[in-house]
């Protein structure tokens, strides 16, 4: 375990990755899925509020940045029409399931359930981008996810009490960012699974 203040460094690393993603989005080299990024903005804010209610402290900084950064990406994608990724039915279905998770959070009004439902919702929100990163990794920038991966890892190392409210969201961020970093950086889908015609 390291000093709790390293959670701020973790949040900063995550945010720096997002800044690179925003620049790539503004240039049009990265094409974010707006359903994913809208929900990635909304859902962590819910998790952040729940963590605050549970007294998580500095460890919740990563969760806040996990919502604020995607909000900025969404704005960048709205400002540059070339950065837009076409929505498919799958995107909308995942978005709908994610919103059901948000509603379930609201109905339970329990912080741990809120965190669980926010992670579930965030996971469904991530699926369109995971699929896009698998099939078309060139439309993504792995640095944003690498920043999130490093930020989550640092945050996990700062945890003193391993309670669900403290570790669940950073652990989820670590897993999803690791997955996306590998898919994009190493082009796993096109290289090993998708046969070119």
Residue 142 lies in a domain: yes
Residue 21 lies in a domain: yes
Q: Give the model's pLDDT for residue 85.
A: 66
Q: Domain of 143?
A: 6-189
Residue 197 lies in a domain: no
Any idea which of 15-29, 37-51, 60-74, 149-163 has the lowest mean pLDDT? 37-51
**Ranked by mean pLDDT, which of 67-76, 81-90, 104-113 comes out on top?**
67-76
Residue 184 lies in a domain: yes
| % pLDDT > 70, the chain | 97
Please state the rounded mean pLDDT for residues 107-118: 79
Instruction: Answer whether residue 170 shows pLDDT above 60.
Output: yes
Domain count, the chain: 1
Do the beta carbons of residue 161 and residue 117 sit within 8 Å? Answer: no
Do the beta carbons of residue 128 and residue 33 sit within 8 Å? Answer: yes
Q: Give the model's pLDDT for residue 153.
A: 94
Residue 195 lies in a domain: no
Q: For residue 84, name the pLDDT band (cuts at 50, 70, 90).
A: low
Instruction: Answer whether residue 197 shows pLDDT above 60.
Output: no
List pLDDT tens digits, range 33-64: 888 888 888 877 877 877 787 788 877 887 78
Residue 194 lies in a domain: no
List pLDDT tens digits, range 123-151: 988 999 999 999 999 999 999 999 999 99
- What's the start-to-end Cα distance of the chain, in Å? 50
Do the beta carbons of residue 111 and residue 53 sit within 8 Å? Answer: yes
Residue 1 lies in a domain: no
135/195 Cα distance (integer angstroms): 11
Distances in Å between the Cα of 24 and the Cα atoms of 17, 20, 137, 185 are 11, 6, 14, 15
């Amino acid at each position: 375990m390291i000093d709790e203040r390293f959670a701020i460094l973790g949040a900063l690393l995550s945010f720096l990755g997002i800044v690179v993603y925003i620049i790539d989005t503004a240039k049009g080299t990265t094409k974010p899925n707006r359903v994913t990024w809208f929900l990635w903005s909304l859902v962590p804010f819910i998790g952040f509020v729940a963590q605050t209610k549970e007294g998580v402290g500095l460890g919740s900084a990563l969760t806040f940045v996990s919502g604020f950064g995607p909000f900025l990406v969404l704005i960048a994608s709205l400002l540059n029409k070339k950065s837009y990724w076409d929505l498919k039915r799958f995107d909308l279905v995942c978005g709908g399931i994610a919103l059901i998770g948000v509603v379930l959070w609201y109905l339970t009004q329990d912080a741990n359930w809120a965190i669980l439902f926010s992670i579930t919702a965030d996971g469904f929100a991530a699926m369109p981008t995971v699929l896009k990163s698998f099939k078309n990794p060139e439309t993504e920038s792995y640095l944003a996810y690498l920043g999130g991966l490093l930020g989550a890892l640092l945050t996990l190392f700062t945890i003193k009490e391993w309670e669900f409210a403290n570790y669940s969201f950073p652990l989820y961020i670590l897993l999803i960012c690791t997955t996306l970093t590998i898919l994009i950086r190493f082009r796993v889908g096109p290289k090993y699974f998708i046969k070119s015609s």
